[in-house]
Amino acid sequence: MNQERWSAVDDYIADLFVSPDGALDQTLAASSATGLPEIAVSPVQGKLLMLLAQAIGAQRILEIGTLGGYSTIWLARALPDDGRLVSLEFNPKHAEVARTNIGEAGLAGKVEVRVGRAQETLPQLVDENPVPFDLIFIDADKPGYPDYLEWSLKLSRPGTLIIADNVVRNGEVVTPDADDPNVQGVRLFNERLAAEPRVSGTILQVVGSKGYDGLALAVVQV
């Protein structure tokens, strides 16, 4: 099994289950044209995010790590008319590209992109004492993941679904002495998630057009 086969099967699945979509295609094209890294979730993963949000009837979604807004658009499409998504992004250029893409997708009224390090915008959000989020998608810098879990719990209620991208890292996650801070970040996140009594979670290994990685899923218990 190799990347070529994973990509071919991902294309096969996308051809079956992901309709060609102007706004999403344009989002990837604009992200690429403006030099953003090509690390958005895949189309098949984007659809999974939308379906999960739909399945839990999410009305309020928090995303940590916007990039060009690709996953944002998938998630926001699951929202009802009065639903709301807040997405946190450190890089002002990424946020600007995302806002344009989100606007073109007709979702500007539901989505707010907040610029700043999530380490700062998350405590600000907590200070606003918002209605708890129904779904939280963690996908920013990997060394930040352990802290993002802690902040996410402050913004949750029992039943909140927490999803974290990139928690397997091509399998490197099983290397305890990995010197990659991204691997160490997700290792600590995974350990904390597993040990955290306020959530019940698991990790799904994922292969596809984006390589070999994994998605953590957890539901807040109390």
Q: Is 166 in the site for ligand DHB (CB under 6 A)?
A: yes
Q: Is 139 in the site for ligand DHB (CB under 6 A)?
A: yes
What count of Cα atoms within 13 Å lies in the side-chain half-sphere of residue 192?
A: 18
Structure tokens at 79: 């929202």
Residues in contact with ligand SAH by CB under 6 A are 39-41, 65-67, 70-71, 88-91, 94, 117-119, 139-141, 144
Judged by DSSP in three states, 160 sits in coil
Least separation in angstroms between CB 142 and Mg ion: 9
Residue 83 or 122 with smaller CB distance to ligand DHB? 122
Please answer whether residues 85 and 58 qualify as being in contact, where contact means their C-beta atoms are separated by less than 8 angstroms.
no
Q: In what order do the strands lie in the sheet with 60-64?
A: 111-115, 84-89, 60-64, 135-138, 161-165, 211-220, 199-208
Which residue do the tokens 């600000």 mark?
124
| Radius of gyration for the alpha carbons in the chain, expressed in angstroms and rounded | 17
Structure tokens at 147: 């802290």
Instruction: Report in angstroms the alpha-carbon separations of 178 from 169, 175, 181, 198, 221.
Output: 11, 5, 8, 28, 32
Q: Which does 90 bind (CB under 5 to 8 A by kind): Mg ion, ligand DHB, ligand SAH, none?
A: ligand SAH
Residue 135 or 164 with smaller CB distance to ligand DHB? 164
Q: Is 39 in the site for ligand DHB (CB under 6 A)?
A: yes
CA 36 to chain centre: 16
User: Out of 121, 160, 166, 184, which residue is the one contacting Mg ion (CB under 5 A)?
Assistant: 166
Residue 121 or 166 with smaller CB distance to ligand DHB? 166
Residue 83 or 166 with smaller CB distance to ligand DHB? 166
Q: Is 89 in the site for ligand DHB (CB under 6 A)?
A: no
Least separation in angstroms between CB 222 and ligand SAH: 28
Comparing every residue's Cβ against ligand DHB, the nearest one is 39
Q: Is 63 in the site for ligand DHB (CB under 6 A)?
A: no
Q: Is 87 in the site for Mg ion (CB under 5 A)?
A: no
What count of Cα atoms within 13 Å lies in the side-chain half-sphere of residue 85?
A: 32
Least separation in angstroms between CB 168 and ligand SAH: 16
Interface residues toward Mg ion, by CB under 5 A: 139, 165-166
Interface residues toward ligand DHB, by CB under 6 A: 39, 139, 165-166
